Amino acid sequence: MWLMGTSSLPDDIDVFMNVIGQNVKASGGFVFEEKQLIKTEMEYERGRWLQVSPSALRDKCAAIGLSDAEATLVVGWLGNVHEGKHLRPDKARRDHRYQWPTP
């Protein structure tokens, strides 16, 4: 259950996904590190992600250059967050956290 009914992302999530897009472009693909960063942030910053609609996230994934299969993977993780399931990010990367801007 997400709180937003529109197809736009909250500003903080939009910025985060732009960073992911920059990382994907720099590394030449959606590599393990970016996947784990998304999973880590979804797991430990659930409150931010509960307000994200799957369609808005899918649109953003396409906008930053992820393939349909990659977008489906990310949106699937979001679905798990919405359902209260744990994502189990890689143990070695749990401490690598995104620095969310302070309001």
Angle 11-17-18 (CA atoms, 0-180°, nearest 5)? 90
Fill in the DSSP letter of residue 45.
-
What is the model's pTM? Answer: 0.84
User: What whole-number distance in Å separates Cα of residue 13 and Cα of residue 52?
Assistant: 8
Residues 6 or more apart in contact with residue 102 via CB below 8 angstroms: none
Query: Using one digit for the tens of pLDDT, what is the confidence trace for 16-28?
Result: 999 999 999 999 9
Residue 60 tokens read as 């953003």
User: What whole-number distance in Å separates Cα of residue 14 and Cα of residue 2?
Assistant: 16
Site of tokens 């699937």: 76
Residue 4 has pLDDT above 70, yes or no: no
Query: Using one digit for the tens of pLDDT, what is the confidence trace for 36-91?
Result: 999 999 999 999 999 999 999 999 999 999 999 999 999 999 999 999 999 988 77
Residue 94 has pLDDT above 70, yes or no: no
Residue 6 has pLDDT above 60, yes or no: no
User: What whole-number distance in Å separates Cα of residue 88 and Cα of residue 19?
Assistant: 22
